[in-house]
Amino acid sequence: MHAYRSHTCAELTAAQVGKTVRLSGWVNRVRDHGGILFIDLRDHYGITQVLCDPDSAAFSAVEAVRSEWCIRIDGEVKARDPELVNPKLPTGEVEVFVREIEVLGHAAELPLMVFGDQEYPEETRLKYRYLDLRREAMQENMKLRSDVVASMRKRMWDSGFREYQTPIITASSPEGARDFLVPSRLHPGRFYALPQAPQQFKQLIMVSGYDKYFQIAPCFRDEDPRADRSPTDFYQLDMEMSFVEQQDVFDTIAPVLAGVFEEFGGGRKVDAPADWPQISYRDAALWYGTDKPDLRNPIKMQVVSDHFRDSGFAIFAKLLEQDGTEIRAIPAPGGGSRKFCDRMNAFAQKEGLPGMGYIFWREEDLPAEVTTDPSHPLFKVWFAQLSELVERDDSELNEEQRAFLTRPIPQSPEQWPFASFTYFAGAGPLAKNIGPERTEALRKELGLGVGDAAFFLGGKPKTFETVAGKARVAIGDELGLTEQDRFAFAWIVDFPIYEKDDETGKVDFEHNPFSMPQGGMEALDGEPLEVLGFQYDLACNGYELVSGAIRNHKPEIMFKAFEIAGYGEDEVRKLFGGMVNAFQYGAPPHGGCAAGIDRIVMLLADEANIREVIMFPMNQRAEDLMMDAPSEPQNEQLRELRLRVLPPES
C-alpha cells in the first residue's frame, strides 16, 4: 500500500465496502457521539467520515487529535445505515472504521477556523493565508481560477494562436501607470522595470513576423488598490494579431470569453457575441455615466437641458447659461414615491453633490373648471394625455370617448363622456417650479407614467457623471430592475485620444497614445479633441474585462500624435526607442487586447472583492502580511546596488 493513501477523501463509495484503505488529510472537525469518535477527514478533493470506538487499538490516539491536524489513517470501509446516508457528499454512503492512525503534522491553536463559514478580519485572513486557503469556498475559487486559465489556453490554441513568453525584467511600458523599478547591480544608478504589460514586446512579436500571439501574462503596476484591482500584480490573457482591423479582434476574443462564461457561469445567461452592442465612449458616458456600464440595468440617462432652459427652476436655468453645462435625467420606473426620491437625494449628498432634483408622477383629479378651459396649462396636459391614450391599442377609452376628443371643447364638465377626470401629475419641488407643461413634456420624452420618477443632475458633465452613474446603478438595484442571473457584455469604442486641461489649456493624451487614430495622419491635422482612436474596451456587469486597440504602427503618425501632446521626436525615441526603431523595418498593421483574468474569475465566482480569487494577494496598503513584504533592505544589499534610502517625509 502507498505510504500515505490508497484513495483520496472523495473516492470511496459502496463499491469499496469491506476493503482496507489508507487515507491522509486534515481533521475538518471531531465529534464525540456517546464515546464513539467521528472525524470528518478532508483533503483537496473532498471529505470522508471516519470513526473510532473504544474497541479499536487506535482509540486513545484518535482522542488526542484536534482540528487541522494532518493525519493518516488505515481502516475498513463500512456502509452507513440507510437513515445515516449523507447525499450531499460523494462519500456519503460509507464511513471508515479506524484501525491505525499516524499524526503527520500537529496544528497549534488556530488563529482562524477552517471549518464553517465564520467571518474574520481581512488582516487575519491574509496573515494566515495558508489556513484561509484550506476553507471550502477558497478551495473552490482557486480551482475555478485554474480551470478558467486552462480553458482560455485551450480556446486560444484552438483559434490558431501560439503562446510566447515575454521578459519580466525590462524597460518601462507605455501603459500610463507607475512602474515597479528594479535597481541594476551591474549598471549602478540605472534601473529596470517590471512590465506593466507585455505591450511593447507583443507588438515587436508582430513586427518579427509571428501572426498570432497570446500569453497568460503577469503584469506589475504600482497602483492604489480597489475592490476590483490588485495594487501590485495581476494576470491577463494577452493577445495580438497582424493584418487585422478592429472587428477582427472582436470576432476572435468574443467567442473565447463567451465560451468561458458559458462553461463556468453556473447556468447564468450569457449574451451571444453577435448581440454584444458597440457603444461609443461618449454615448456610454452620457447614457450610463461610465465607460464600463452594467447593461443588466435597463436605465438610460438622457440630456433634458431644453426643458429647464429659461424655466422657473432658477438653479438649472442659471446653470445652463454657462458654456459646457447640461442637465441629465435618470429615469426611475417604479420609483414614484417621495420616500424613495428622498432616499436617492440623500445618496447623492453622500457622494459629495448638493443633491438630485426629482419629479415623481401620480394620478390626480383634474379640477372640474379646468375641463372647459383649453388655455389652462392643466387642461393642455390632460388633453394631451387623453390624445396619447387614443393611439394605444390597450387603451381603456371606449369608442364614444375616443370620438369625442375630435369635437369642439364642451361648455360644461357634464358634457364630457367621462365619469371622472384624472391625469398624470408631476409631484415634487422641481415639478412645482417648472410647471405642468414642462413636467408633462419631460414625462413623455422619458417614457414614464404613474408610479414612476426621474432624477436630475446638472453642470459640466465631468463634475457629475461619475455620481450619476452610481445613482443609476443604485436605482436599478433598489427597484429590482437589474437582471441578476446574466452576464451582459458591451464593446466600448471610439475613445478620444486627447483631452484638454481646463486650467492650463494644455492638450495631452486622454487614453492610450499608441492607438491608431481613426483617419490616420489626416485626422491629426484637425481639432485634437475630435480625434478618436481605434481603441476599445469590453465591459461586463459594470466591470472592464478587456482593453485593447489597433496599434499605431507608422512612425510618422506616431511622431505627429506625440507632437500634438507636446512630446518631441527625440523624447519619443528616447522613451520608446526599441519599438519606434522596429517600426522602420516593415511593421505590419496589427492590434490586440488583454483580458483581466482576476476580474473574470471574480465575476464567475460571484465575489465582490478581487482578493477572494487571488491565491496570495496583498492587503489594501499593498503589503504581504504573510511574508512581511515590503521589507527593509540590508545595508550590504544597498552598498552593492550603490543605493541610499532616504527617511520618510514627516
As given in the structure block, the three cell numbers for residue 43 are 483533503
State the CB neighbour count (10 A cutoff) for residue 179.
19
Give residues with Cβ within 8 angstroms of 339, minimum separation 6. none
pLDDT score for 393: 60
In the chain, helix, strand, coil percent, each to 5?
35, 25, 40
| Distances 538 to 77, 261, 411, 518 between C-alpha atoms, Å | 53, 14, 61, 19
Only one residue has cell 541610499, namely: 644
CATH number for the domain running over 281-485? 3.30.1360.30
Tell me the C-alpha distance between 212 and 76, whole Å.
Answer: 56
Distance of CA 280 to the CA centre of its chain: 19
Overall fold of domain 14-105: OB fold (Dihydrolipoamide Acetyltransferase, E2P) (2.40.50)
Cell matching residue 202: 507583443
Q: Give the pLDDT confidence score for residue 504 in this predicted structure.
A: 86
Phi, psi of 84 (to 5 degrees): -105, 5
The SS3 assignment for 587 reads: coil
| Coil vs helix vs strand at 47 | strand
Cα–Cα dist 131/148, whole Å: 24
Contact 235, 219 (CB under 8 A): yes
Q: Where are the beta strands (DSSP E) in 274-395?
A: 278-280, 302-303, 326-332, 357-365
Rounded Cα gap, residues 469 and 295, in angstroms: 12
- CB count within 10 Å of CB 56 equals 18
**What are the residue ranges spanned by the domains of the chain?**
14-105, 140-276+486-614, 281-485
* Nearest CA among 54, 50, 25, 55 for reference residue 40: 50
* Low-confidence residues of the chain: pLDDT under 70: 173-176, 389-408, 410-412, 414-415, 419-420
Q: What whole-number distance in Å separates Cα of residue 1 and Cα of residue 402?
A: 90
Looking at the structure, give the CATH architecture of the domain made up of residues 140-276+486-614: 2-Layer Sandwich (3.30)
Q: Which of 271, 239, 278 is nearest to 255 (CA)?
A: 271
Q: Do domains 140-276+486-614 and 281-485 have the same CATH topology?
A: no
**pLDDT score recorded for residue 403:** 63
3-class state of residue 297 by DSSP: coil
- Between CA 102 and CA 58 the distance in angstroms is 9
CA 426, CA 627: separation in Å to the nearest integer?
61
Q: Which phi and psi (to 5°) does residue 180 adopt?
A: -90, 120
How, if at all, do strands 212-220 and 162-163 pair?
A: parallel
CA gap 388, 390 in Å, rounded: 5
Residue 326's alpha-carbon distances to 309, 320, 358, 379, 459, in angstroms, are 10, 6, 16, 30, 6
Cα 41 to Cα 71: distance, rounded to the nearest angstrom: 9
Q: How far apart are CA 505 and CA 10, in angstroms?
A: 66
Q: 226, exposed or middle or buried, with CB in 10 Å at 0-12, 13-18, 19+? A: exposed
Q: What is the pTM of this model?
A: 0.91
3-state secondary structure of 21: strand
For residues 123 and 130, the answer to whether their CB atoms sit within 8 Å is no
User: What per-residue confidence (pLDDT) applies to 387?
Assistant: 74
Q: Provide the pLDDT for residue 204.
A: 96
**Cα separation values, 290 from 20, 223, 325, 330, Å:** 62, 20, 18, 14
Q: Is the dihedral of CA 80, 84, 90, 96 positive or negative?
A: negative
Report pLDDT for 176: 67
- Supply φ then ψ for residue 322, to 5 degrees: -90, 145
> pLDDT tens across 250-264, in order?
999 999 999 999 999
Q: What is the pLDDT of residues 177-186, one digit of tens each?
A: 789 999 999 9
Q: What gap in Å lies between CA 48 and CA 11, rounded to an integer? A: 9
